[in-house]
A and B are shown apart, each in its own frame.
Chain A
Amino acid sequence: GAVVSQHPSWVICKSGTSVKIECRSLDFQATTMFWYRQFPKQSLMLMATSNEGSKATYEQGVEKDKFLINHASLTLSTLTVTSAHPEDSSFYICSARVRGGTAYEQYFGPGTRLTVT
Chain B
Amino acid sequence: GNSVTQMEGPVTLSEEAFLTINCTYTATGYPSLFWYVQYPGEGLQLLLKATKADDKGSNKGFEATYRKETTSFHLEKGSVQVSDSAVYFCAFSDSNYQLIWGAGTKLIIKP
- Give A contacts to B, CB under 8 Å: 4, 6, 32, 34, 41-44, 46, 49, 93, 95, 97, 102-104, 106, 108-111
Contact = CB atoms under 8 A, between A and B. Distances in A.
Interface string B70-111: 000000000000000001010001000111010110100000
Contacts of A108: 36, 43-45
Contact of A103 (B32, B45, B89): B32
Contacts, number: 50
30 contacts: A6-B43, A32-B97, A34-B98, A41-B103, A42-B38, A42-B87, A43-B101, A43-B103, A43-B104, A44-B101, A46-B98, A46-B101, A49-B98, A93-B43, A93-B44, A102-B32, A102-B93, A102-B97, A103-B32, A103-B93, A103-B98, A104-B32, A104-B49, A106-B99, A108-B36, A108-B44, A108-B45, A109-B43, A111-B42, A111-B43
- Count class of interface residues, chain B: 20 to 34
A110 B42 contact: yes
Nearest to A101: B97
A36 to B, nearest CB: 8
Interface in B24-41: 32, 34, 36, 38
